[in-house]
Amino acid sequence: MSNGNDILLEVRELRTYFKLDEGMLKAVDGISFTLRKNRALGIVGESGCGKSVTAQSILQIVPRPGRVQGQMIFHGEGGPIDIGALDPESDAMRQIRGREIAMVFQEPMTAFSPVHTVGNQIMEAMLVHGGISEQAARERAIELLDQVGIPAAARRVDEYPFHLSGGMRQRAMIAMAMMNHPKLLIADEPTTALDVTIQAQILRLMKKLQADFGMAIIYISHNLGVIANMVDDVAVMYRGKIVEYGTVRHLFKNPQHPYTQALLRSIPHLGGEAERLATIRGSVPIPLDPPDECPFANRCDHFIPGRCDARMPDAVETEPEHRVSCVLYS
Amino acid sequence: MDESTSSAPLLEIQNLCKYFPIERGLMRRVVGHVRAVDDVNLTVGHGKTLGLVGESGSGKTTLARCILRAIAPTSGRMIFRPQGQEVDIAGLPKKELRSIRRHMQMIFQDPYSSLDPRKTVYDIVSEPLRLNQVASGQVLEDRVKRLMERVGLSIKYMHRYPHAFSGGQRQRIGIARALALNPSLVVADEPVSALDVSVQAQILNLLRDLQSEFNLTYLFIAHDLSVIEHTSDEVAVMYVGRLVEQAPTKALFRTPRHPYTEALMASIPLPDPDRPLPVQGGLEGELPDPAHPPGGCYFHPRCKYARPICSEQTPPWTEVGPGHHAACHFTRELTLQGIE
């Protein structure tokens, strides 16, 4: 498994289930991946595929009644620690959350309190950890806002979140996430609510910060274009499972799982000439008491009765660093 | 349809303006106006799709609401020619609007909030037919069934409520309702942006099929340029209430003639790791406050080609090619980068 010191996070057989009246919702159902330092991993998938719950599981902030099982070995400052074995409320988890692993969300309004200024919220987080004067914290907050490209940061520091545009709020949330120089930044659809020109600005900013600070990123998005631009490796999730995993080049140039192939074919490509788009029949399933089978079986054009619906296919390495869970390759 | 008028465009928008007053103080004194739609000229041909692109605050939804007369425009003309008629709907009083409204319908972005949760699919789809007294009894039921089948919904589920359907199916319900009265013009405001990627293609294909089958004319509003390119015959680009460029789709994407269009295209992350977004030189800044737009060309503070005249004079709407217009002082001189 871990053979060098460049591994940051090893996730093994992560399962996050929600016991509901209707049955067991298997939001994340036995996923494994390894994230190396300074790398960017993209998790791509549609609604209900489990990509956001994966992020919440790593931070141990899964809402009730979710239960997280599995190993998540994080190689942080204090040596390897299994996040999966930590109590979400423990000091050890709190130390990791916000300090070593930070997160930015789709909607920055939920990350900020509307009744405090942006600066006070950033300062508060610094003052809680102690060892810094109020004046120094204020200067640091201005510096952080400046670093993420907020113009007139010295003035903006005293503004309330609702004064800021969507793009500026997203920058402020990124500033807050960067405060303690995290080893890992988890970005969950950070640009989905933004206009395309603002999205491009935020994507550029995140790339710059990653290079400047040397951190790893887990980038979660449904947007294949964003993923292709931002990451080194990609995990494609469908109904709680990783169905394909590979380098960004493998995945976009040589997609192997029928779901990945169909997804790439179904989006209109700029400059493309297609009269009709390829479609995937049916709709995205909800992982409620899912049967033990390939999750894509009932929408797949290559469905083989007796094999695809017999059990979940094992992941097969079809080329170096490229794994796919599909009977066509086993 | 009356063939004699079918050569004239279905919709001609001339100098359309919609200003919202900014009011201050107890007396609600009007201190200024937000020019949400500012002197827009547009033409949509029969059976064609006009794509309308712009970022939030560009005025594209306000323009759509004016066209549907959900709100009354401040000034301008909107010549609408459905099924042999010809009316200026810009100034039409409410009573006369009723009869013209059935010729224009809307498909909404959010299939989760645009359908009444207390009504069955049958009620939702049949409502426009009942309200306009087009059909009743068995005729009505047959018509609803045909509509449902045509948009790909099983009539088995006719008496279910919207919550029992997926996002894609709900969008189909919305489409069936919009088509019930056989409209000429369908305004689709971000019809696929709330849907899962794998479901978007189904809806885009369905809209295309319905267009050729019923000779529908679409005004297709979207922020996703790849969706616009795929669906539209012509594209209009809006920026802070003004049109900055309009052209046949291919011309717009290959050879944009306005710097904002170029910047918009350069901002799209493509699903191809070999064609990454440029690290340097992307568009900086944000849309100006529409209540206090900059002087001259509204885009000049963000434009890398801007020269002194750009902050002083509003650029004229210039024809730069067949059906290709742009509002830029230097549109004839600049060589702008499109999509290959």
Question: What residue ranges do the domains of chain A occupy?
Answer: 4-100+183-324, 111-179
d(CA B333, nearest CA chain A) in Å:
24
Contact B6, B72 (CB under 8 A): no
Cβ–Cβ contact A46 with B under 8 A: yes
pTM, two decimal places: 0.91
CATH of domain A4-100+183-324: 3.40.50.300
Is the ipTM reported for this complex over the cut 0.95?
no
d(CA A165, nearest CA chain B) in Å:
9
| DSSP helix/strand/coil, A258 | helix
Contact A101, A184 (CB under 8 A): yes
* Inter-chain CB proximity B339 and A271 less than 8 Å: yes
d(CA B4, nearest CA chain A) in Å:
30
Contact B12, B87 (CB under 8 A): no
Tokens of B227: 């969706």
* Inter-chain CB proximity B198 and A284 less than 8 Å: yes
Identify the pLDDT of residue A4. 59
Q: Which of A169, A195, A261 is most worth mutating to test chain B (most B CB atoms within 10 A of its CB)? A: A195
Tell me the chain B residues in contact with residue A280 when contact means C-beta distances shorter than 8 Å: 198-199, 201-202
d(CA B219, nearest CA chain A) in Å:
19
Q: Torsion angle, CA of B90/B93/B95/B96, rounded to 10 degrees? A: -50
**DSSP characters over A54-95:** HHHHHTT-PPTTEEEEEEEEEEETTEEEEGGGS-TTSHHHHH
Share above pLDDT 70 across residues of chain B, in percent, rounded to a whole number? 98
Residues of chain B with pLDDT under 70: 1-6
Q: Which residues of B177-210 are buried (b: 16+ CB within 10 A; e: fewer)?
A: bbbbbebbbbbbbbbbebbbbbbbbbbbbbbbeb
**H helix intervals, chain A:** 51-58, 91-96, 118-129, 134-147, 153-156, 166-178, 196-213, 224-230, 248-253, 258-266
Nearest CA in chain A to B224: A196
B187 - beta bridge partners? B106, B219
Tell me the chain A residues in contact with residue B206 when contact means C-beta distances shorter than 8 Å: none
Contact B336, B256 (CB under 8 A): yes
Contact B232, B249 (CB under 8 A): yes
Q: How many CB pairs under 8 A join A and B?
A: 138
* Inter-chain CB proximity B277 and A47 less than 8 Å: no
d(CA A159, CA A111): 15
Q: Which of B154, B197, B267 is most worth mutating to test chain A (most A CB atoms within 10 A of its CB)? A: B197
* Inter-chain CB proximity A224 and B197 less than 8 Å: yes
CB atoms within 10 A of CB B276: 14
| Secondary structure letter of residue A288 according to DSSP | B
> Per CB distance under 8 Å, which residues of B are interface residues toward A?
55-56, 166-169, 196-202, 204-205, 208, 223, 225-227, 229-230, 253, 263-273, 276-277, 279, 282-284, 286-287, 339-340
Tell me the chain B residues in contact with residue A276 when contact means C-beta distances shorter than 8 Å: 205, 208
Query: What's at A218, amino acid-wise?
Result: I
| DSSP helix/strand/coil, A96 | helix
d(CA A262, CA A275): 16
Residues 246-305, chain A, touching B (beta carbon < 8 A): 248-249, 252-253, 262-264, 266-272, 274-281, 283-284, 299
Q: Is the peptide bond preceding residue A65 cis, with omega within 30 degrees of 0?
A: yes
Helix axes of B121-131 and B137-150: crossing angle, nearest 10 degrees: 120
Tell me the chain B residues in contact with residue A249 when contact means C-beta distances shorter than 8 Å: 273
Query: What's at A201, amino acid-wise?
Result: Q
Identify the pLDDT of residue A190. 92
| Secondary structure letter of residue A97 according to DSSP | B
Q: Which of B169, B190, B196, B255 is most worth mutating to test chain A (most A CB atoms within 10 A of its CB)? A: B196
Tell me the chain B residues in contact with residue A253 when contact means C-beta distances shorter than 8 Å: 273
**DSSP characters over A202-230:** HHHHHHHHHHHHT-EEEEEES-HHHHHHH
Identify the pLDDT of residue A271. 84
Nearest CA in chain B to A151: B285
3-state secondary structure labels for all residues of chain B: CCHHHCCCCCEEEEEEEEEEEEEECCCCEEEEEEEEEEEEEEEECCCCEEEEECCCCCCHHHHHHHHCCCCCCCEEEEEECCCCCCEECCCCCHHHHHHHHCCEEEECCCCCCCCCCCCCHHHHHHHHHHHCCCCCHHHHHHHHHHHHHHCCCCHHHCCCCHHHCCHHHHHHHHHHHHHCCCCCEEEEECCCCCCCHHHHHHHHHHHHHHHHHHCCEEEEECCCHHHHHHHCCEEEEEECCEEEEEEEHHHHHHCCCCHHHHHHHHCCCCCCCCCCCCCCCCCCCCCCCCCCCCCCCCCHHHCCCCCHHHHHCCCCCEEEECCEEECCCCCCCCCCCCCC
Identify the pLDDT of residue A109. 67
Tell me the chain B residues in contact with residue A281 when contact means C-beta distances shorter than 8 Å: 202
Q: Torsion angle, CA of B95/B97/B98/B99, rounded to 10 degrees? A: 110
Query: Could you list the pLDDT tens digit for every one of the 330 residues in chain A?
Result: 444 579 999 999 999 999 999 999 999 999 999 999 999 999 999 988 999 999 999 999 999 999 999 999 999 988 999 999 999 999 999 989 978 999 998 876 677 888 899 999 989 888 877 778 999 999 999 999 999 999 999 999 999 998 888 899 999 999 999 988 999 999 999 998 888 999 999 999 999 999 999 999 999 999 999 999 999 999 999 999 999 999 999 999 999 999 999 999 999 988 887 778 999 988 888 899 999 999 999 999 999 999 999 999 999 999 999 999 999 998
Identify the pLDDT of residue A106. 82
d(CA A166, CA A192): 11
Nearest of A259, A102, A222, A233 to residue B194 by alpha carbon: A222
* Inter-chain CB proximity B273 and A207 less than 8 Å: no
